[in-house]
Amino acid sequence: MKILICGDVVGKAGRRVVCDALPTLRRELDLDFIVVNGENAAGGFGITPKICDQFFDVGADVITTGNHAWDQKDIIPHFDREKRLLRPHNYPEGTPGTGAAIFPDHQGRKVLVLHFMGRLFMPSLDDPFAGVEMALLNRHLGSDIAAIILDFHGEATSEKLAIAHMLDGRISAVVGTHTHVPTADAQVLPGGTGYISDIGMCGDYNSVIGMKKEASIERFRKKLPGPRLEAAEGEATLCAGFIE
């Protein structure tokens, strides 16, 4: 099975590169399943129902999110309506949506997509290590489930590596998102699980993690409420993890 998972899509530039490239990538890489992390797709902050539809129209099978899941108010009820839209699973009980669900790939095989958020330098959510174990109860890779992938949305590489090693051999791949900076540590762990700390973003890299440089620099230099951050709109690069 061939799976592509696109890193955080940032703003219009990121949407454009994903919408332009996905149909071709699907064909050329013979993809069976596509995940898009869309949490920064709406101007850098969240995602809207309309943007979700655009990603599904060009071939996304599942959209994951992260700490910006709730930035656009009209998306909140959409998490209960649109089952292909996931939020981190370790939000409190009662939060709309889910972060663990099974989807069919293009040949009808079952893919379990897990989506959790780290807690180091991130909002304090429920324990993702215990949460992922709960989500994997009675789920066995290679029995009725053909692939299990985890989009682990977090800041710290240590936390991402720790959860990946904990799951090594039990799931197909752990793919890090959130930092918008691709890491050079793609590897297959000893037990067979694919891993990368961060797949980077789909967005304009002539920027500060996808946002216009000037406002970002101002905010770091002055400890006052800075100018509004806006998504950079130059030519975007698509960064993604390809798992076979």
Give contact residues for Fe ion (rule: CB under 5 A). 66-67, 178
How far is it, in rounded angstroms, from Cα 94 to Cα 42?
Answer: 25
Closer residue to Fe ion, CB minimum distance, 89 or 178: 178
Minimum Å gap between C-beta 39 and Fe ion is 5
In the set 68, 115, 153, 178, the catalytic residue is 68
- Identify the DSSP state of 121: T
Minimum Å gap between C-beta 189 and Fe ion is 24
Stated length of the chain: 244
Angle between helices 11-28 and 49-57 (to 10 degrees): 20
How far is it, in rounded angstroms, from Cα 88 to Cα 210?
Answer: 22
Angle between helices 157-167 and 128-135 (to 10 degrees): 30
Minimum Å gap between C-beta 50 and Fe ion is 21
Query: Which residue number is nearest to Fe ion in terms of Cβ?
Result: 66
User: Active-site residue 180, yes or no?
Assistant: no
Closer residue to Fe ion, CB minimum distance, 117 or 147: 117
Closer residue to Fe ion, CB minimum distance, 67 or 95: 67
How far is it, in rounded angstroms, from Cα 217 to Cα 211?
Answer: 10
Residues belonging to the active site: 68
